Structure 1
């Protein structure tokens, strides 16, 4: 069990390492894409600058270059303005601490709090969750999946792995202590007399004990009929030595006959006096167990004799050993009765969720109510994960993380600003020339 548990832990660690490596690879790809887009935006700005200086230098020789100069001038202004706006989100432009720049590093805590409030208000409200789940039909989808043999087998396999892990983690002494404490609290501490007497009173009043009495009488009568020699021999052994042997035989036969006749009479007559007296005695005993202090004390004394400290500890140990052995054997064997029945039960439950609209509706309502309760009760704790995580981040690290995720798209703002600026500059210069030229 321990090697298997260690193997599972090793596999989990390897999976975590692989996941981290995958995340690092994705970040590296995003960083490369971000650098590429920055180079493109910068290259476009430099292109506009070259065009501007060329057009500015030769516009007197070629008047039409004034329009090119105006377009390039507008493109540079747009590119520089959008570069400033994008850069100001993540850092100080050119290292100059201009007011209202480096917004994300300086206001990361407020951003985290605002993001948490946004998620709580728009995603973790009871109305939103209930409406979403009401239209999702989760029960039917889960039922369809569970009804598949391979899905049910997977659930059984995962459950077996969880049980094996629990068995490896749990300490036998701790479990035995829990079982012993439960036995003492629920079995030993409460008095036995009154509950046993109350149960017996109900059994005797309904006549359920008559079947046991009939069995005892039948077995006794059968034994007496088959043991004539034994009964006669007992009479001879207890007879005085001076009594003749033939007299012992006659007396023994007579006693045997009377005992057998008496037993047959009790057996054949449901209203026999012995049966009635026995019923009367049992009913009185049930009352005494409930109300007679002396009888209650005897029941407690018997309980303490049967279940003393060593016996309770041994009982707890045997109980846990039996449960542990049975569960271990069942989960280790894919064809064990427990595994097979559990798998069949999972499939059957899945089929019922699909084919029984009433059951599916109840399951969906329960899921929706449970989700709404969890959201309504713990939404502050859930959103605090966002605010606390952002609060723990370093300001520079936060800026880098966000830029890595959205920076590539923001570079399109710079590119668009260059293009739009050049078109706007050209349009403004053209209109001014036509109006005032």
Structure 2
């Protein structure tokens, strides 16, 4: 069962308007009583002088006009004297029909595409959003609101199985990526920019540094001694050979590093480009890279790392929502305010936002206007008409009561005119 909606008469000025309505009602009733009393008195005094006949005619018609308008005003809202007279209490008796017609009227004349579109285009949504975001307090409120929702969103994400779905989708997408052409393209761009020559210089420096270390030279010397005849070992040929090898290598490395056009660099270019070509076209390279990719994604350490990162992120979100840390909130506030400043200075972006929101809201209104009409109709049908009528009377009742004054005056003048015509006809 639907509970009728109630109206509380407590708006500013309602009490004063109610008191004024009572005063005007009393005055209109007193005018009606006065015209009736004067009619009786004039009728009684009419034999004494013909002028009382004119007064009686005016008062009689004024009384009738006042009664008729009183009946009309009362019948609009309720039954006069509580009597079940047909075609009275018009508003109450037609509540459902009025509700349906009101909803239909609003749908047809207020929610049509043309006026809705024209009104929406008058609103600068982009500037409103920009001004709203640039206000620090509003951005802080928005950041706090977002942070309060964040832990619940995280919990809902975990409970709904969305994380499992997302992780599976990410893994599936990574598995579907063909890394060989991607790596070949990256290396080709690397070579095209000449950055591989810097890598060559680093390699030469590293090899030179390794060769000149005492441990490396001792190891090379030991290898040479194992291969030399015994006679040469006596003359310490191993030391001589090691020194010559290291000196020659160092000179070669220095020569290559100092000469950008050294033939070795060109050979290195050809070697790298040959490797890049094989990487992009040789199926065996692609199989090896895919194998490495599968092994990496299957590693339990990777899953443990993902869980650890998610747990830390969730803990950070919870501490941010509880106010334990202000880092995320301050970052969000700065981000919102920066977005507002950027939007305020970008007229093109504001125009796009306005156009987009107009299109969206226009579609929403077009799709929901019948629902709005039904909602309005249902609301009017659920109103407590007794209280609603009291509210209407408080706001427009004084004007309706003045109809009674006008009825008495016009009725009296009409009666006076008719009596005058009758009097003149009798004289003829």
TM-score (norm 2): 0.74
The equivalences for 1:208-227 within 5 A come to 208=191, 213-227=196-210
Deviation at 1:195, TM superposition (A): 3.5
1:428 aligns with 2:422: no
Contact 2:39 2:56 in 1 (8 A): yes
In structure 1, the gaps of 5 or more residues are 1-22
Residues 32-71 of structure 1: pairs in structure 2 closer than 5 A: 33-34=17-18, 36-61=20-45, 63=49, 64-71=51-58
Shift of the 69–252 alpha-carbon distance from structure 1 to 2, 3 Å rule, reads: farther
Deviations 1:272-295 (A, max 9, x none): 434433332233233457995565
Q: Does structure 1 conserve the Cα–Cα contact (< 8 Å) formed by 2:125 and 2:353?
A: yes
Q: Does 1:369 align with 2:366?
A: no
Counting only pairs closer than 5 Å after superposition, residues 330-409 of structure 1 correspond to structure 2 as 330=327, 332-333=329-330, 339-340=333-334, 342-353=336-347, 362=352, 364-391=354-381, 393-394=382-383, 397-405=384-392, 407-409=394-396
1:1-40 maps to which residues of 2 (within 5 A)? Answer: 24=8, 26-27=10-11, 29-30=13-14, 33-34=17-18, 36-40=20-24
- Provide the rounded CA distance (Å) in 2 between the counterparts of 1:38 and 1:413: 12
- Residue 188 of structure 1: CA displacement? 0.5
Matched, 1:181 2:165: yes
Q: Structure 1 residue 273 and structure 2 residue 267: aligned? A: yes
After superposition, where does 1:252-267 map in structure 2 within 5 Å?
252-254=242-244, 256-257=246-247, 260=250
SS of equivalent residue, structure 2 residue 173: coil
C-alpha spacing 1:93/1:432, structure 2 compared with 1 (3 Å): closer
Aligned mates of 1:210, 1:351 — CA distance in 2: 38
Tell me, yes or no, if the aligned pair for 2:180 and 2:286 is still in contact at 8 Å: no
Task: Tell me which of 96, 99, 105 is aligned to 1:118.
Answer: 105
CA distance in 2, matches of 1:181, 1:258: 61
Q: Matches of 1:259 and 1:323 in 2, distance apart?
A: 58
Deviation of the 1:49 alpha carbon: 1.4
Per-residue CA deviations over 1:306-347 (Å, capped at 9, x if unaligned) read: 7754343334334555678789635644xx6x6446434423
Q: Which has the higher contact order (CA 8 A, sep 6+)?
A: 2
Structure 1 length-normalised TM: 0.73
Shift of 1:430: 1.9
Query: Paired residue for 2:216, among 205, 223, 231?
Result: 231
Corresponding residue SS for 1:170: helix
Q: How many residues align?
A: 399
What is the alpha-carbon root mean square deviation over aligned residues?
4.1
Secondary structure of 1:61's aligned partner: helix
2:3 aligns with none
Shift of 1:56: 0.6
Aligned-residue offset at 1:201: 3.2
Give 3-state SS (helix, strand or coil) of 2:376's partner. helix
The answer as to whether partners of 2:343 and 2:349 remain within 8 angstroms in 1 is no
* Cα shift at 1:89: 3.6
Contact 2:103–2:376 at 8 Å: present in 1 too? yes
1:131 is aligned to 118
What is the rounded CA distance, in whole Å, between the counterparts of 2:80 and 2:162 in structure 1?
65
* 1:312 maps to 2:306: yes
Q: 1:164 aligns with which of 134, 144, 147?
A: 147
- Counterpart position of 2:426: none
**Structure with max Cα Rg:** 2
Alpha-carbon displacement from aligned partner over 1:231-252 (angstroms, at most 9, x marks no partner): 2144357678898695654454
Counterpart contact for 1:78–1:421, Cα < 8 Å: yes
